[in-house]
Structure 1
Amino acid sequence: MTEARIVPVESPNPPVATGTRIGHVHLKVADLDRALGFYRDVLGFQVTQRYGDQAVFLSAGGYHHHIGLNTWESRGGSPPPPGTTGLFHVALLYPDRPALADALRRLVEAGLALDGASDHGVSEALYLTDPDGNGVELYWDRPVAEWPVNADGTLAMVTRRLDLGALLADAPARAA
């Protein structure tokens, strides 16, 4: 398989340093405990620090935080209406397919509906909305060597239906 290559768009500035990543997302929420019910109790992120009823920081694997939630400007607020600017979704990258399958199992067990599920060739993704109306993408990346490419070697992402039954079958067994 031909390896995908990224074709940069002309820019007057040099590109950002290789290895730069998005470290965390901080979301304004209306109700901190309701948001915790989703991010901690359903998705499984661990609380690393809490500031009373105003803010909480959550992590996967002991990092200081991947997700910050606060009510500083949003307590009791409502999501932005459609047609306005703002966050489209936050994408949470899982390390492999079984970990994404476990996330799907958690959503099913919690009775939460998906907004969509796609195989993009480079990744498999689940889409849903958190309790505050924020879009959430849960996904895993295939190895780069498996990414689809065009004849000229450029990336050829697709959007196909993701087989949720097959994904669930890859969920690891729960510890007793």
Structure 2
Amino acid sequence: MQSAKQEERMSGNQTGPVTPSGLNHLVLNVRNLDESHQFWTEILGFRQVGELKASPTRPNPPRMRFYSGDHDGKMNHHDIALIENTALPPPPADWAMSGMPMAIGHIAITLPNREAWLRQLAYLQSRNIRFNRRVEHGMTHSLYINDPNGYGVELLYELPRDVWEGDIDAALNHAVAVPTEGPEALEDRVEGLPVFQTAQ
């Protein structure tokens, strides 16, 4: 039995926008490409897969590099790209979840699972990366840091769908702050987490 939306798509009688399957990639303006390259590769673990090169039709391209995460052992054409713009203003002195003078609030990056996420947290702490926030959200457990340009970066792992899909709005509104320094910043609670369901 087909749903009304499936029948609408197959008939070609589209009455509204097609819902995308998701975001494909993100391009960030950065002040210093080499500095940002180091952050996105050596700190966050992305791999460079390409770089914009001069050609007869584009003799003076901007400095731009392309990066991929790990997609089941394969590289994507790019998940994120960095393009140098030396005219960008300096980053704010401190990062905050809201009220920043930045067009992008933060960029969320998914780790494959809880174990990989915990290993990444330990690695970042060993590199003396400042943990701005640690939060148990209703649908993810998250760490917030920032890049050299002041962009917020959320590193997360997803909780199982059956934890949050029963009431997505309630899960989005759930947030428990977790320590950001010392050994406690590397702990992750898995027992006693709430399960979100709409009232029947």
The 2-side partners of 1:132 and 1:41 are apart by 16
**Comparing both chains, which one has the higher relative contact order based on Cα–Cα distances under 8 Å and sequence gaps of 6 or more?**
1
Match for 2:146 among 114, 118, 129?
129
Larger radius of gyration: 2
Match for 2:170 among 137, 151, 156?
156
Shift of 1:155: 3.9
* Structure 1: 5+ residue stretches without partners: 1-12, 168-176
Q: Which has the higher helix share?
A: 2
Match for 1:56 among 46, 65, 71?
65
1:1-176 to structure 2, matched below 5 A, reads 14=16, 16-17=18-19, 20-51=21-52, 54-61=63-70, 62-71=75-84, 74-75=85-86, 77-79=88-90, 84=101, 86-147=103-164, 153=167, 155-157=169-171, 158-162=174-178, 164-167=185-188
TM-score between the two structures when normalised by the length of structure 1: 0.74
The 2-side partners of 1:89 and 1:44 are apart by 18
% same residue: 28
* Structure 2: 5+ residue stretches without partners: 1-14, 54-61, 93-98, 179-183, 189-200
Shift of 1:79: 4.4
Distance 1:34 1:80, change over 3 A: closer
TM-score between the two structures when normalised by the length of structure 2: 0.66
Determine the structure 1 residue equivalent to 2:95: none
Partner amino acid for 2:149? D
Determine the structure 2 residue equivalent to 1:173: none
How many residue pairs match? The answer is 149
Shift of 1:154: 5.5
